[in-house]
Amino acid sequence: MAPPAQSQRSPSPSQPSGKSEVSDLKLQLRQLAGSRAPGVDDSKRELFKKVISYMTIGIDVSSLFGEMVMCSATSDIVLKKMCYLYVGNYAKVNPDLALLTINFLQRDCRDEDPMIRGLALRSLCSLRVANLVEYLVGPLGSGLKDGNSYVRMVAVMGVLKLYHISASTCIDADFPSILKHLMLHDSDTQVVANCLSALQEIWSAEASTSEEASREREALISKPVIYYLLNRIKEFSEWAQCLVLELVTKYVPSDSSEIFDIMNLLEDRLQHANGAVVLATIRVFLQLTLSMTDVHQQVYERIKAPLLTLVSSGSPEQSYAVLSHLHLLVMRAPYVFSSDYKHFYCQYNEPSYVKRLKLEMLTAVANESNTYEIVTELCEYAANVDIPIARESIRAVGKIALQQYDVNAIVDRLLQFLEMEKDYVTAEALVLVKDLLRKYPQWSHDCIAVVGNISSKNVQEPKAKAALIWMLGEYSQDMQDAPYVLESLVENWDEEHSAEVRLHLLTAVMRCFFKRPPETQSALGAALAAGIADFHQDVHDRALFYYRILRYNVSVAERVVNPPKQAVSVFADTQSSEIKDRIFDEFNSLSVLYQKPSYMFTDKEHRVPLEFADELGNLSIGEAANNVVPTQMVEENDKDLLLTTSEKEETKGSRNNGSAYTVPYDGSSTSVFASQAQIESAVSNPTLAGHSPQASFAIDDLLGLGIPATPAVPSPPQLKLNTKAALDPSTFQQKWRQLPVALSQEISVNPQGVAALTAPQALLRHMQSHSIHCIASGGQSPNFKFFFFAQKFEESSNYLVECVINTSSAKAQVKIKADDQNTSQDFSTLFESALSKFGTS
Amino acid sequence: MISQFFVLSQRGDNIVFRDYRGEVAKGSAEIFFRKVKFWKEDGQEEAPPVFNVDGVSYFHVKVVGLLFVATTRVNVSPSLVLELLQRIARVIKDYLGVLSEDSLRKNFVLVYELLDEVIDFGYMQTTSTEVLKSYIFNEPIVVDAARLQPLGPAAIFMQGTKRMPGTAITKSVVANEPGGRKREEIFVDIIEKISVTFSSSGYILTSEIDGTIQMKSYLTGNPEIRLALNEDLSIGRGGESANDYRSSYGSGAVILDDCNFHESVRLDSFDMDRTLALVPPDGEFPVMNYRMTQEFKPPFHINCLIEEAGHLKAEVILKVRAEFPSNITANTVVLEMPLPKYTTRASFELEPGVTGQRTDFKGANKKLEWDLEKFVGGVEHTLRAKLTFSQELHGEILADSKEI
């Protein structure tokens, strides 16, 4: 709709103010309204065009409403169309006038020409005037039964429009069930597709209040519907195909043969020229095979080529979207793409948003075999004329350096950057050298020699300056003139605008003082004086703190400022793996581009249609085993998720450990479980399969609330474990701290187990089936860390296990703590046997 | 599902604006334009095609300098929307013959008519020119294509897209010829983008071909068309690794890494005799996109020599040699070279006695351009350029050249 009434907008000189023109038009329209002279339609067309062009540029022409309606009594379809456009635009702001149009629109709805019937119906539904809904029901009802598919297509969307104006009218007229019937029986695929869109929207919105609606929504992803749509998928338009594919991702097949059937059917969709179809297909493939590790890997191999073709064949905008998805995949499976690194080389004429992504890809795919080539290429970019990209490339080189074991060549390159004498290159390189030294202190000699040659006057950017000052302080014993450089920096204290730099300067001078006291003493005095007088609170406080601690005890001060340092092994990851998983669940959506799960950037009311996954996660929180999910719980779940994220960050901090732990009862990972559990339950309960997801009972078990997922637990007779053990994370932590280690041993893991352990989740599910539950897990290949717990059958005696599995050595370090120390040996045997079966089943 | 669709001119004027769902505030076009215009303070970077402001996601694609924008509040598939925008642009072009601000403004009623049929309440209905034909009643007002500045072949690559402004065909798919008789024509273009990186010693570092077979059909009655491709064509390499041994090199076989096809293409006999059967829909569409990294002989060999000739001066010697046989002539070859930002002036010196060559220094985007109208195979041309800088020179890289 063109921008309507904007009369308050100040008329710009380039646009006609409109007042006189509008009244002019009004007169002319009035003259033509009654005329039946030949050629009158042509002059009407011209006038209508003028009206609409005014409307587009923002002139208020709503005063012509009456005249326009009068003129619309015509058989000329072009005129009619323009009139509909006008009416649709202004009806909402002029509800009284809109009533005028109802009459002729209703008449047109019964026209002989199906085009006119369709158009009139569409305009009628687009009026968006609440008090006119009563006039919609009749035409819509006959529209849905119309013999012409165009009219039906329009009518289906009309139902959705009606729902948005007045939901109750729509439901009372029983339109949803008519749509459902149409969806399953109409011969025209576009009608089917529109029904699907409309039903998804209506039932998702209704699901929060009506059980029936949520059942209906579940029914959309039931086997018959999905199969019906999939079998006709080639008849659908490419856009409708995307819609169907999106629905299929929510479907949970009952067994693996079904999965393969679906994948074979959709295989050729990967060769579609429309990137949206390809990505939607890929999402289906990835979701279907989540639980089948090896097939999942094959899928990665299979989708590689189509994705790379999409990157190079579309417009830069499309490549951007595809590259973002590639990036996500690369993060999950770097090795798959490591041989294709050349595809991610930048071309000079690409827009910077594409280049930026490609740089990230290059960083991600770098491994031992291709690092040299990639770094060489990146170094070329550093000399690029495009400065932001040059900066990014240097940062990328640094990132690769930090993630590789063999850094010799890279360090040399970075040092060359320092000598390039371009201020921005030097600045970026300095920051990187600092990070590098924190991780690889053994390189300090080479680096310091070069850094020492850099004049601090050439470094202006705060971050770079701070990095340089940090190095001056840290390595002052190796740098001849460190105290003097620092001294001159202190002298220019007032000219230093960045508080960060001043803070670093204070610390550096302190460190330097302890290493070379006589040379630094005066600089330290000046720095402390300037620092205490500083207006910035942090700088002031730190200076005061140093001053006092020096007065109190110099050796204590030294221990505080210059403690023996350990090299940083892993820099904190900015994004938790949990969020990454959640983004992966939302593959082929904006989440991937923004690198945020959808709850972070969409409003609640706009979130519902896409996210079934939420509710699967949500089920685990719901206590009753019902399959009706009130949608307001989605919101709670989101809060919960946020909570667990922050909690997790705390645990991460307190354990002082770089790897992230996932607490299994968050939304994203549970949804994975849920689908797994559904598959299991579907196998044991064929009657339930294909109906609405019955995830709940299995999930409850996951939390230890419900009945067991696998009824026959193969446990040795001497020790029976409670299959529905429950323990909350805080109790676990508390117990873990209190209890002594009862047993500590090394178990070797069989090769199949190692092969299956590509992600922590695989083991969790396995141990679950042995009544050993996981409370937290994390890590990446080759090191995985798990915390398990189990409970003795019919007793509240707990066993806590810390298990670190190294897949490269195929060994597991197990520490067991138990409430009842006597049975810990038995439990250990049980645990070992359970672990040994992993991967063989 | 999208909320609004609009087209903005380069200055940010609304040319077309359609609100489908009324979920996003009306000022969105202004918000969008301001955001795009001032993406980064230094103005050095382009805004990404998708971004989010206050919960509203804005998608845009640039086509011939116009911004095609869609907004939404839900978490949709980005490639779906971007693809749709691109497709809308193409449908409009099919109808108007020429896509430009002028033609859009003249035909906005038709464009609104199209938009109503393409999208209903935010859901895509159809983007096939063929299907739309039966719903659309406005006649396009044809804008004289001759008045438009011809887009040089290099323009396509500057935008980084392969979509050709269909070489000679700027007439509308639906408009009837003035003479009343329709000509039965079909245009098939094969457009290849060859990217080759040479090392300073002339050794080929990377080479890649992205190609597309583009078709624009004016045929009536939709007959079936068969397109036979090279019979030695094979798709996908046997081995997975990019470094595997290429035994077929030199034997004439063409190995595509991957390809995809338009939905109208039937591949029934593709496996046997490499023919594509299709019933071409009206309008312009890509029949097939392909990508190959097989080693090939690049059609041109470029050599670049840079000499510093004093404090703020440098001399660039560009040599280009056509590697194809002398009975073939390349038309409109354009060589581009990005120059440092602080280049202020460039003077050129062509070989004595050559004709049909032009050189230009584009001050706005700091590019050196060298047009060669005719380029006979086996010949080498040289260009000397003297550059003047406002700052000291630090060395630069030569980018690849393009040829049609």
Give the tens place of pLDDT for each residue, A645-660.
334 333 333 333 333 3
Determine contact, residues A798/A727, Cβ cutoff 8 Å.
Answer: yes
Q: Note whether residue B211 is domain-resident.
A: yes
pLDDT digits (tens, 9 = 90+) for A18-30: 567 788 888 888 8
Burial A499-530 (b: 16+ CB within 10 A, else e): bbbbbbbbbbbbbbbbbeeebbeebbeebbeb
Cβ of A590 within 8 Å of Cβ of B124? The answer is no
- The pLDDT score that the predictor gives to residue A291 is 84
Closest CA to A88 of A40, A140, A125: A125
Closest CA to A660 of A812, A777, A787: A777
CA-to-CA distance for A202 and A160, rounded, in angstroms?
Answer: 7
**Pick from B241, B264, B292: which residue ends a domain?**
B292
* Tokens encoding B242: 């990019």
- Cβ-defined contacts of A599-607 (< 8 Å, 24+): A599/A638, A599/A641, A601/B52, A601/B55, A601/B57, A601/B75, A602/B55, A602/B73, A602/B74, A602/B75, A603/B55, A603/B73, A604/A634, A604/A635, A606/B23, A606/B55, A606/B73, A606/B74, A606/B75, A607/A634, A607/B74, A607/B75
B12 and B127 belong to one structural domain = yes
CA-to-CA distance for B290 and B254, rounded, in angstroms?
Answer: 12
pLDDT digits (tens, 9 = 90+) for A440-455: 887 777 788 787 777 7
B250 and B304 belong to one structural domain = no
Indicate which CATH number applies to the domain containing B190.
2.60.40.1170
Cβ of A190 within 8 Å of Cβ of B125? The answer is yes
Q: Note whether residue B310 is domain-resident.
A: yes
* Tokens encoding A501: 């730099």
Q: Note whether residue B394 is domain-resident.
A: no
Residue B52 has its nearest CB partner, among A2, A601, A607, at A601
The Cβ of residue A344 has, within 10 Å, a number of other Cβ atoms equal to 25
**Pick from B242, B276, B292: which residue ends a domain?**
B292
B129 and B189 belong to one structural domain = no
pLDDT digits (tens, 9 = 90+) for A741-776: 777 777 777 777 777 776 667 777 777 777 787 777
Over range A39-61, report the average pLDDT.
Answer: 80
- Cβ-defined contacts of B31-35 (< 8 Å, 24+): B31/B56, B32/B8, B32/B58, B32/B60, B32/B69, B32/B71, B33/B8, B33/B67
Question: How many angstroms away from the CA of B54 is the closest CA of chain A?
Answer: 8
Helix, strand or coil, per DSSP, at residue A37: coil
Residue A590 has its nearest CB partner, among B50, B236, B340, at B50
User: Which class for A612: exposed (0-12), middle (13-18), buried (19 or more C-beta within 10 A)?
Assistant: buried
Determine contact, residues A698/A766, Cβ cutoff 8 Å.
Answer: no
Stated as kind and residue range, the H or E segment containing B67 is: strand B66-72
Determine contact, residues A637/A614, Cβ cutoff 8 Å.
Answer: yes
> What order of strands is seen across the sheet that includes strand B204-217?
B186-198, B204-217, B283-292, B258-261
Q: How many domains does chain B fold into?
A: 3
CA-to-CA distance for A326 and A339, rounded, in angstroms?
Answer: 14
Indicate which CATH number applies to the domain containing B47.
3.30.450.60
Chain B within 8 Å of A321 (Cβ-Cβ)? yes
Cβ under 8 Å to A: B residues 95-134? 108-109, 112-113, 116, 120-121, 123-128
Confidence of residue B81 (pLDDT cuts 50, 70, 90): very high
Q: Note whether residue B236 is domain-resident.
A: yes
Q: Residue B100: what are its φ and ψ, rounded to 5°? A: -155, 170
Helices A499-515 and A462-474 cross at an angle (nearest 10°) of 10
Q: Note whether residue B79 is domain-resident.
A: yes
Question: How many angstroms away from the CA of B110 is the closest CA of chain A?
Answer: 9
* Lowest-confidence pick of A135-139, A166-170, A533-537, B95-99: B95-99
- The pLDDT score that the predictor gives to residue B398 is 38
Cβ of B137 within 8 Å of Cβ of A239? The answer is no
- Tell me which chain A residue has its CA closest to the CA of residue B27: A3
The Cβ of residue B358 has, within 10 Å, a number of other Cβ atoms equal to 12
Residues of B in contact with A57 (CB under 8 A): 14
Calculate the CA dihedral of residues A163, A165, A166, A172 and round it to 10 degrees: -40
Supply the DSSP symbol for B326: T
Confidence of residue B162 (pLDDT cuts 50, 70, 90): very low
Give strand pairing partners of B331: B374
B226 and B316 belong to one structural domain = no
Chain B within 8 Å of A153 (Cβ-Cβ)? yes
B203 and B109 belong to one structural domain = no
Q: Note whether residue B144 is domain-resident.
A: no
Chain B within 8 Å of A352 (Cβ-Cβ)? yes
Stated as kind and residue range, the H or E segment containing B187 is: strand B186-198
Over range B386-400, report the average pLDDT.
Answer: 50
The mean of the pLDDT values for chain A is: 76
Question: How many angstroms away from the CA of A115 is the closest CA of chain B?
Answer: 7
Stated as kind and residue range, the H or E segment containing B58 is: strand B56-63
- Given a cut of 90, whether residue A124 has pLDDT beyond it is no
Chain A within 8 Å of B249 (Cβ-Cβ)? no
Domain around B372: 300-389
- The pLDDT score that the predictor gives to residue A737 is 72
CA-to-CA distance for B190 and A800, rounded, in angstroms?
Answer: 66
Instruction: Mention every residue, 6+ apart, whose C-beta is less than 8 A from residue B245.
Output: none
B239 and B265 belong to one structural domain = yes
Q: Note whether residue B285 is domain-resident.
A: yes
The Cβ of residue B10 has, within 10 Å, a number of other Cβ atoms equal to 11
Over range B284-294, report the average pLDDT.
Answer: 82
- Tell me which chain B residue has its CA closest to the CA of residue A189: B125
Omega prior to A630 cis, within 30 of 0: no
Chain B within 8 Å of A130 (Cβ-Cβ)? no
B307 and B234 belong to one structural domain = no
Over range A55-78, report the average pLDDT.
Answer: 78
B20 and B119 belong to one structural domain = yes
Residue % of chain B over a pLDDT of 90: 9
Q: Note whether residue B399 is domain-resident.
A: no
- The pLDDT score that the predictor gives to residue A155 is 93
B312 and B230 belong to one structural domain = no
B263 and B194 belong to one structural domain = yes
- The pLDDT score that the predictor gives to residue A128 is 77
B43 and B9 belong to one structural domain = yes
The mean of the pLDDT values for chain B is: 74
**Pick from B292, B325, B351: which residue ends a domain?**
B292
Higher-scoring residue by pLDDT: A348, A505: A505
* Lowest-confidence pick of A460-474, A769-783, B79-93: A769-783
Residues of B in contact with A422 (CB under 8 A): 394
- The pLDDT score that the predictor gives to residue A3 is 43
Closest CA to A697 of A688, A219, A789: A688
Calculate the CA dihedral of residues A103, A107, A109, A112 and round it to 10 degrees: -170
B272 and B345 belong to one structural domain = no
pLDDT digits (tens, 9 = 90+) for A476-531: 888 888 888 888 888 888 888 888 899 999 999 998 888 888 888 888 899 999 99
Backbone CA torsion sign across A306, A311, A317, A322: positive
Stated as kind and residue range, the H or E segment containing A816 is: strand A811-818
pLDDT digits (tens, 9 = 90+) for B135-147: 877 777 776 544 4
- The pLDDT score that the predictor gives to residue A629 is 37
Residue % of chain A over a pLDDT of 70: 80
Determine contact, residues B192/B164, Cβ cutoff 8 Å.
Answer: no
Determine contact, residues A310/A326, Cβ cutoff 8 Å.
Answer: no
Calculate the CA dihedral of residues B37, B38, B42, B45 and round it to 10 degrees: -60
- The pLDDT score that the predictor gives to residue A473 is 86
Task: Provide ipTM, 2 decimals.
Answer: 0.81
- Given a cut of 70, whether residue A685 has pLDDT beyond it is no
Chain A within 8 Å of B152 (Cβ-Cβ)? no
